[in-house]
């Protein structure tokens, strides 16, 4: 199916006695937008540093584009922003990016303006980096990650410090690039709701361990809030539900219905069903919010 563009096998990193990443097995397919979610200090940054070569693993291995060795050609296909965006304060945005263009051998200087426009920093082109706000610094970091036409973009909490409009713009940019240029994204955050809107594959990490990996559909299924009705006569129940004006529901089998419609009160529903002669055997609410889902995962793991 889709080529696996990055995979790790039992990747471990220890700083002295502290294990930052513990036997991580993780893989990303080409064209994915993968969200890496974990609390502060869970190991997201460590994982990213390992796969970009900023630090060496204590044990385990990883493969990029199906190859073990990281020659410079493979490394070029990764663009990344890890930890705080780092640039030279006394140079302008344009000069900073030009410095890296020269370093990487990028011959077309128009690329700089192109990439600044992608992150809406065209106005700040000639402003010194030390005058930048946090959001602008972050955006320059993202611009830098995309400078060399990468195939994988690895971003460490890129949403930090951005206002809601900035976040929405960035989200659109990521989706467009993913669709039009086939860029694979690995984005980490500790805010699940933000990543939810962007990613289609989620990996949860806690205390250096990868605790779960789900696609967006699976996540939706596990989180979706619904009222589960168990009764003897599903047909009768569905007529009653129809008459209440509820349309977003599904007949699961001969004895179960699930109502996904929002704003339906379980109490009211129960009353209506019973009054209309439906023998309700059980009525429960299921489903969780994203944040609760994450909390559950973390506490299960501990």
Partner 1 sequence: MAAALTIMTVSALVLLAICIVQRKEINSIARQLKQLKSIETNALVRSSSGTADRLINEINALLIEIRQSQVDYNRRNHELEQMMTNISHDLRTPLTSAMGYIGMVRTSDIPEQEKQRELEIIERRLVRLEELINSFFEFSKMISRGEPPELEELDPTAVLEEASVHYFDDYCARNRSISLDTPRKRIKYRSNRTMLMRIFDNLIGNALKHGKGDLHITLTEGERLTFIFENSTDEHIDTERIFEEFYTTDISRTKGNSGLGLAIAKQFTELLGGSISAEFEDEVFRIILVL
Partner 2 sequence: MINMIKAELYRMTKTKGFYLFWGVMLISYLITIIYKQEGGISLGAPIVTDNSLKMDVRMVSWNFTYYYLFIIPVFTTVCSEFSNHTYKNTISSAISRKTYYFSKYFFILVYTLLSFSLLNFAFYAANRLVNGSEYSSSLGRFAKSVAVQLPVMAAIISLFIFIAFAVKKGAVFNSVTIISPILYTTLGLVLYGIKDTKAFAEKMLTCEISTIIMRVAKETSGSFTAKCMAGSALVIILSALFGYVIFTKREID
User: Which positions touch partner 1 (CB under 8 A)?
Assistant: 30, 65, 73, 76-77, 104-108, 148-151, 180-183, 238, 247-251
Contact string (CB under 8 A) for partner 2, positions 118-157, x = contact = --------------------------x---x---------
164 binds, among partner 2, partner 1, none (CB under 5 to 8 A by kind): none
Q: What is the nearest approach in angstroms of partner 2 to the Cβ of residue 74? A: 9
Question: Is 183 or 240 the residue whose CB approaches partner 1 more closely?
Answer: 183
Alpha carbons 167 and 161: distance in angstroms, whole number: 9
Taking the C-alpha atoms of residue 108 and residue 93, their distance in angstroms, rounded to an integer, is 17
Whole-number Å distance between alpha carbons of 283 and 144? 53
Residue 90 contacts which entry, partner 2, partner 1, none (Cβ below 5-8 A, type-dependent): partner 2
Residue 60 binding: pick among partner 2, partner 1, none (C-beta 5-8 Å cut-off by kind): none
Which two structure tokens, joined as six digits, stand for 34? 């993968």
Q: How far is CA 200 from CA 64, 83, 190, 196, in A?
A: 20, 23, 16, 8
Nearest to 155 by CA among 87, 83, 80: 80
Give Rg (Cα) of the chain: 24
DSSP of 161-185? T--HHHHHHHHHHHHHHHHHH--EE
Cα 29 from Cα 146, distance rounded (Å): 19
Return the residues of window 42-81 that contact partner 2 according to CB under 8 A.
52-55, 72, 75-76, 78-80
Q: Tell me how many residues contact partner 2 (CB under 8 A).
A: 30
| Comparison of 35 and 150: residue with beta carbon closer to partner 1 | 150
The answer to the question of residue 103 lying near partner 2 (CB under 8 A) is yes
Q: Residue 248 binds which entry of partner 1, partner 2, none, with Cβ cut-offs from 5 to 8 Å by kind?
A: partner 1
Min dist CB 76 to partner 2, Å, is: 5
Work out whether 98 is an interface residue with partner 2 (CB under 8 A): yes
Structure tokens at 189: 């955050």
Give which of partner 2, partner 1, none residue 109 binds (C-beta under 5 to 8 Å, depending on kind): none
Work out how close the CB of 256 gets to partner 2 at its nearest, in angstroms, rounded to a whole number.
52
- Beta strand pairing call for 4-15 and 59-64: antiparallel
Is 83 a binder of partner 2 (CB under 8 A)? Answer: yes
Is residue 227 within 8 A of residue 249, CB to CB? The reply is: no
Beta bridge mates, 280: 231
Residues that bind partner 2 (CB under 8 A): 15, 52-55, 72, 75-76, 78-80, 82-84, 86-91, 95, 98-100, 102-105, 144, 148
């Amino acid at each position: 199916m889709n080529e696996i563009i990055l995979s790790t096998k039992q990747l471990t990193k220890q700083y002295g006695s502290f294990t930052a990443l513990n036997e991580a097995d993780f893989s990303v397919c080409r064209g994915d937008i993968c969200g890496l979610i974990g609390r502060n200090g869970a190991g997201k940054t460590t994982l990213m540093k390992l796969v970009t070569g900023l630090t060496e693993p204590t044990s385990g291995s990883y493969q990029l584009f199906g190859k073990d060795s990281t020659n410079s050609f493979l490394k070029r296909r990764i663009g990344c922003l890890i930890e705080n965006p780092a640039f030279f304060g006394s140079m302008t945005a344009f000069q900073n990016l030009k410095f890296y263009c020269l370093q990487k051998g990028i011959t077309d200087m128009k690329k700089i303006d192109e990439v600044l426009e992608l992150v809406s920093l065209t106005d700040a082109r000639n402003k010194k980096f030390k005058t930048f706000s946090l959001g602008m610094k972050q955006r320059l970091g993202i611009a830098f990650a995309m400078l060399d036409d990468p195939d994988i973009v690895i971003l460490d909490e890129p949403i930090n410090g951005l206002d809601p409009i900035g976040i929405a713009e960035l989200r659109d940019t990521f989706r467009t690039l993913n669709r039009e240029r086939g860029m694979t994204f690995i984005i980490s955050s500790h805010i699940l709701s933000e990543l939810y809107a962007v990613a289609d594959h989620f990996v949860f990490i806690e205390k250096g361990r990868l605790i779960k990996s789900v696609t967006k559909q699976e996540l939706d299924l596990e989180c979706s809030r619904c009222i589960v009705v168990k009764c003897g006569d599903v047909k009768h129940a569905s007529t009653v539900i129809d008459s209440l004006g509820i349309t977003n529901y599904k007949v699961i089998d001969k004895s179960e219905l699930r109502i996904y419609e929002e704003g339906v009160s379980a109490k009211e529903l129960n009353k209506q069903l019973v009054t209309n002669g439906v023998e309700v055997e059980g009525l429960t609410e299921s489903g969780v919010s994203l944040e609760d889902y994450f909390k559950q995962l973390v506490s299960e793991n501990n």
